Amino acid sequence: MSPDSKRAYQKDLLLASAMVVAGLAVFGVSVAQLKAGHSNAQMAQATQPLQSTPGAEAKPSAPAEPTTTGVRPSGVSPEPARPDAEAQKAGAAPALPSAPAEKIAAPIKER
């Protein structure tokens, strides 16, 4: 090491150690303030505390569970999104509109 680089290294080391000591001093002061516990410090509450609705004791807390049979209704049959060709000739309209041209790709070629 040359004398100039050694001096620069010592200067950097001194600056770094001074910064560490200053950080520890700030930490110590902060901990001392927290331990002291200011008696005049007050906490603010951002929202108002919740209040009960008048007559809430008489009302049920949750709605009753709906009664289900677990069976799919048989009166309504599912319909396809695209009717077959015969149904379209008979006047059935597709449930979904056709895709725009930019969304339709060319068919995949087999190798």
Report the pLDDT value the prediction gives residue 54, as an integer from 0 to 100. 72
**Does the residue 78 lie in any domain?**
no
Helices and strands (H, E) in the chain, number of each type: 2, 0
User: What's the pLDDT tens digit per position in 77-107?
Assistant: 776 666 777 877 888 777 777 777 676 777 7
d(CA 61, CA 55): 12
d(CA 107, CA 82): 19
Dump the DSSP string for 44-105.
--SSPPP-PPTTTTTS-SSPPPPP--SS--SSS----SS--HHHHHTTPPPSSPPPPGGGPP
**Does the residue 87 lie in any domain?**
no
**Does the residue 109 lie in any domain?**
no
**Does the residue 50 lie in any domain?**
no
Q: Which structural domain, as residue segments, surrounds residue 27?
A: 1-34
